Chains A and B, each alone.
Chain A
Amino acid sequence: MEFGNEISNCILDRIRDFSYVLEKTNIPWCKEFVPSFRAILFYYDANKINFEEAKKELSKLEKGVHKIKITPPRIVHLPIVFGGKYGPDLEKVAKVHNLTTRQVIDFFIQEDYRVCFIAFAPGLPYNAGLPKQLETPRLKTPRLKNLAGSVGIGGKQVCIHPIDSPGGYNIIGRTPIKFYDFKKINQGNFKNFCEVVFFRIGDILKFEPVEEGEFKSIYQAVLQDQYEVKIEY
């Protein structure tokens, strides 16, 4: 189901509100749904409904969605180390835009980012808010491995890899924060998904540059569960 072809707050709100309703509605033929910037993917059971009927039913449901009242977003401060082995594509991004790496970093950290949805890999936030100066096409051939914590630019989008995984984004830096708790999931030791997946739709992200040394010490603290991410409510 498509809602235009742009990243805009208006479309993001519509998709967020519809997703909220979908979470609470039992649709017998709907096996799963995956919201994104401008579309929602539905998996339907073709034994129960056909494509055309599913489309009709969904658009009817969407028309009845009212604007939901949302709680004010959390502001999350994320440490990030730029360039070098942590951001192998930083220099390329600078070159593409005729900027110095310092300027790329400055442009990047002066903006706030909105977590639009969680997708791709477990707990991975897709974020909007990248300044125009830094919009960069994805890699021509996606990498087979990006390390957990890698922060990348793909077009207008910014993502943070929660686990080691393939991906086609330009990786400019890395955050030491862990935001996916697979141990708790395996143990079944949680009540709500926000205990195992850190980011929430609507979060506002502020990136705060750190040097390699600080990155390493935070990384160690995170491993020992002794680091608390700075969050404003």
Chain B
Amino acid sequence: LNIKKEGSKLGKILIKKPGLLTTIQDNGRRGYGNYGIAESGAMDIFSLKSGNALVGNSLNEAALEITLLGPEIEFQNHSIIAITGGNLSPSLNRKSIEMWRTYSIYKGDVLSFGSCREGCRSYLCFSGGINVPKVLGSKSTYIRGKIGGNNGNKLEANYTLLIGEPIIKKKYFIRRMKKEFIPTYQKREVVRVVLGPQDDYFTDMGIHTFLSSDFIASSRIDRWAYRFEGPVIEHSKKGADIISDGIALGAVQVPANGNPIVFMSDRPTTGGYSKIATVISVDVSKIAQIKTGDHVQFKKIDIKEAQKIFKDREQFFLNLVK
């Protein structure tokens, strides 16, 4: 357990209202897929890492992942925070505040959220991080598996969470994300995919439908998967079912109904419907900000391009902490 030793001053925050789905998430839990334990972690890794960079944390530190309807939080100590990701109209003591920058917070301050203006999920990062024990190497909450974060639960009203002592000391020190790096969330996103591993389970027509149509996010979207609706993606004679095999982050599975499912952080580790493609890891963060009714279009790239995009993104994060 990585509870901090005496000497470092932990702060407290009180969850007055929990919001729709507020969970503790870091960059996920790796190495237990062969026991069926999901990776979990922030759905939008880009926003998690950016927020942590702003408040001076290590990039993979845990934050609160806030979904659509945000919580109301009372701070019981001084803190420094940043909110990144989808814009859920945050305000501090009832006054609207900006996204993608740091704020100094004082004892008694109340942070709350309003309507969803853009995207789907916000990340609330605290300088010094969140003080919960790591479970199987991660602070992430895995709700279905009932482990991690707040014992596998979303945050409830009247819960008190321990946060670290702020790392950035200067009280009025403001750090902002450069404008050009702040993503905008559209009602229609293009996400890049690498075809396979079972693209041979689809007809040419099926592949064409997949790559040229708009798909609409259904109401069945969660941390497990995004289920999209649109024109039916046609399977070949091999059919929709396969012998079950591993499901990677961003895998696009198409059951016999012909509608694509994109697998996210809390996904099953394996599955038995054919997978037409995988969303590249960098673009999984875009999917995480899609909500019911938003459109997505899948664009094919090859694996070399995908690796280049991944490396560029990693370099971007390195520059961010410099």
- Check A35 for interface membership: any CB of B closer than 8 A: yes
CA distance A207 to B35 in the complex (A): 22
Contact residue among B246, B271, B272 (Cβ-Cβ distance under 8 Å from A40): B246
Chain B residues, Cβ within 8 Å of A47: 310-311, 314
CB within 8 Å for A123 and B35 given contacts A137-B256, A186-B147, A186-B152: yes
CA distance A161 to B136 in the complex (A): 21
Q: Is the CB of A155 within 8 A of B241?
A: yes
CA distance A156 to B239 in the complex (A): 15
Contact residue among A40, A43, A124, A139 (Cβ-Cβ distance under 8 Å from B248): A43
CA distance A142 to B263 in the complex (A): 14
Number of residues on chain B facing chain A (CB within 8 A)? 49
CA distance A180 to B146 in the complex (A): 10
CB within 8 Å for A140 and B257 given contacts A32-B30, A50-B307, A182-B152: yes
- Check A10 for interface membership: any CB of B closer than 8 A: no
CA distance A50 to B1 in the complex (A): 34
Q: Is the CB of B33 within 8 A of A165?
A: no
CA distance A6 to B244 in the complex (A): 10
- Check B104 for interface membership: any CB of A closer than 8 A: no
Chain B residues, Cβ within 8 Å of A193: 35
Q: Is the interface of B mostly helix, strand, loop or mixed?
A: loop
Within 8 A of A (CB), among B240-274: 240-241, 243-248, 255-257, 259, 268-273
CA distance A31 to B41 in the complex (A): 15
| Nearest-neighbor residue (CB-CB) of A136 within chain B | B241
> Per-residue 0/1 for B95-120: is the Cβ within 8 Å of any A Cβ (1 yes, 0 no)?
00000000000000000000000000
Contact residue among B133, B144, B152, B243 (Cβ-Cβ distance under 8 Å from A6): B243
> Per-residue 0/1 for A178-193: is the Cβ within 8 Å of any B Cβ (1 yes, 0 no)?
0010100110100001
CB within 8 Å for A126 and B35 given contacts A46-B310, A185-B135, A186-B135: no
CA distance A113 to B307 in the complex (A): 41
Q: Is the CB of B269 within 8 A of A34?
A: yes
CB within 8 Å for A35 and B34 given contacts A119-B270, A120-B270, A182-B145: yes
Can you identify 15 A-B contacts, CB atoms within 8 angstroms?
A: A7-B243, A19-B34, A32-B32, A33-B33, A39-B245, A40-B246, A43-B248, A137-B241, A138-B240, A138-B272, A141-B259, A154-B241, A154-B272, A185-B147, A186-B151
CA distance A182 to B36 in the complex (A): 13
- Check B7 for interface membership: any CB of A closer than 8 A: no
- Check B64 for interface membership: any CB of A closer than 8 A: no
- Check A204 for interface membership: any CB of B closer than 8 A: no
10 A-B pairs with least C-beta separation:
A41-B246, A119-B270, A182-B146, A34-B246, A34-B33, A39-B245, A140-B256, A120-B268, A36-B245, A119-B269
Chain B residues, Cβ within 8 Å of A118: 34-36
Within 8 A of A (CB), among B189-210: 197
Q: Is the CB of B30 within 8 A of A43?
A: yes
Q: Is the CB of B244 within 8 A of A51?
A: no
Contact residue among B133, B244, B273, B303 (Cβ-Cβ distance under 8 Å from A119): B244
Min Cβ gap B143→A in Å is 10
Q: Is the CB of A39 within 8 A of B268?
A: no
Give the residue among B35, B136, B224 with the most A Cβ atoms within 10 A.
B35
- Check B175 for interface membership: any CB of A closer than 8 A: no
CB within 8 Å for A119 and B248 given contacts A154-B241, A163-B144: no
- Check A84 for interface membership: any CB of B closer than 8 A: no
Give the residue among A32, A156, A166 with the most B Cβ atoms within 10 A.
A32
- Check B37 for interface membership: any CB of A closer than 8 A: yes
Min Cβ gap A194→B in Å is 10
Q: Is the CB of A154 within 8 A of B310?
A: no
Q: Is the CB of A36 within 8 A of B248?
A: no
CA distance A50 to B244 in the complex (A): 25
Min Cβ gap A148→B in Å is 10
Q: Is the CB of B269 within 8 A of A31?
A: no
CA distance A122 to B197 in the complex (A): 24
Min Cβ gap A201→B in Å is 9
